[in-house]
Amino acid sequence: MSSLSFRFIACGKETVRGSLVAADKLLRGKCVITPHLELHTPEEENNSLNPALTSTIVGQYTPIKFDATANFEQLVDLLGMTVIPGTITTPGGGTTSRNHQFLPVLTALSVQDTYTFEVGNSAQEYECGFVIGESLVLTCEMNAPWMAAWTGFGGALAKSTRTGSLTAPVLEPIVANKTKVYVDTTWAGLGGTQVTGALCSATVTIPSGLQRVWTADGGLAYTTVSEGARRPTIECKFVHNAAGVAQYDLWAAQSLRFIRLEVLGSLIEGAIYKELNIDMAVRWDAEVQMQQDHMGMDALVLSGTCYHDPTSDKDLEVNVVNTVTGT
């Protein structure tokens, strides 16, 4: 009997990086975990026509890839592992609603959240700790939900026992067709100028700049991470109409512009809705792809990079409104 139906992915946020915790939530998506051994395998002569091949394990870690329909609930965990731990507040007039703000630090370390992951099926559970993000790619295509592709890594994968009594999550997908795009001249003015009838698709890529670091601490696992420079990027396809041509003009002028992608979900309470806002200070700095197609219409693709805006001292900010009180 196939065990595919019994696969599970669960996680819990660690209090201390690398100290395993029991999972407290199930994740919904597809997870690929590939245990990795760093091996020292020299060929050494041993008085034989077949040289001795010795193999010694010198390090361990676990690459992880998680793909899912983007939703207002799980997205905050992926952002916390990749960008910076979220600052959680209650919006004005709200009681059960929460705003999760992810505003990366540009002059200090972001100290992203780490998680313990549990994966497996009915036959065996495996777990690894110190799970942290390398990249988060959010994709918006019409007539579909937003999609999230997350990559990260954790410590050595070990057999364990699955945490029980976890309930299936209630998740609300983020619908691409409900997306609005704003292009403004200042960060303070973000959300003021909506571009209508033009955006066909968008892809936002947020790298973390994190790398594994091994030190001589008596074990095979990495002991910390280094946080290097990172440059979020965005790619947008626009219909080749007046609004799309205006974006071409911004590329030609190499002007810094401020882009907001905004999506509303269901009503939570009062006038507060579930919401995703991605704000970026962008210069369209890649070659424009002309003569593209969108449902039979001419389109053009613009790709840009986030740059530091000295006025606001920001380059990227993500806000998610939901009812999740903590991660």
Instruction: Label residue 68 exposed, middle or buried (CB < 10 Å: 0-12, 13-18, 19+).
Output: buried
Check residue 21 and give its pLDDT: 97
Residue 48 lies in a domain: no
- Whether 122 is in a domain gets the answer yes
The per-residue pLDDT for 261 is 98
Cβ proximity of 134 and 80 under 8 Å: no
pLDDT for 259 equals: 97
Asked if residue 291 lies in contact with residue 279, where contact means CB atoms within 8 angstroms, the answer is: no
**Longest CA pairwise span in the chain (Å):** 82
Q: Judge whether 101 and 319 are in contact, CB under 8 Å.
A: yes
The answer to whether position 53 is within a domain reads no
Q: Report the number of distinct structural domains present in the chain.
A: 1
- The encoded tokens of residue 38 equal 């760093």
Residue with tokens 């995703």: 276
Provide the token pair at 320: 């998610």
At 1 the pLDDT is 41
Containing 33, the helix (H) or strand (E) segment is strand 30-33
Residue 51 is predicted with a pLDDT of: 72
DSSP state of 175: B
Is 166 within a domain? Answer: no
Supply the DSSP string of 108-163, one letter for each residue. Answer: S------EEEEEE-SS-EEEEEEEEEEEEEEEEETTSB-EEEEEEEES--EEE---
The amino acid present at 99, given as its one-letter code, is N
Q: Say how far apart CA 191 and CA 261 lie, in whole Å.
A: 9
> pTM for this structure?
0.94
Residue 251 is assigned to a structural domain of this protein: yes
- Contact partners, residue 257, CB within 8 Å, separation at least 6: 183, 184, 185, 250, 281, 282, 283, 284
Query: Are 304 and 202 a contacting pair, CB within 8 Å?
Result: no
Nearest-5° angle of CA 104, CA 256, CA 315?
Answer: 0
Q: Which residues pair with 159 in a beta bridge?
A: 126
Q: Which residues of the chain have pLDDT under 70?
A: 1-6, 52
Tokens of 315: 């380059």
Domain that holds residue 274: 4-39+58-161+171-322
Classify residue 44: in a domain, yes or no: no
Whether 50 is in a domain gets the answer no
Query: Cα-flanking dihedrals φ and ψ of residue 63, to 5°?
Result: -65, 140
207 within some domain? yes
Alpha helices for the chain (secondary structure H): 75-82, 242-253
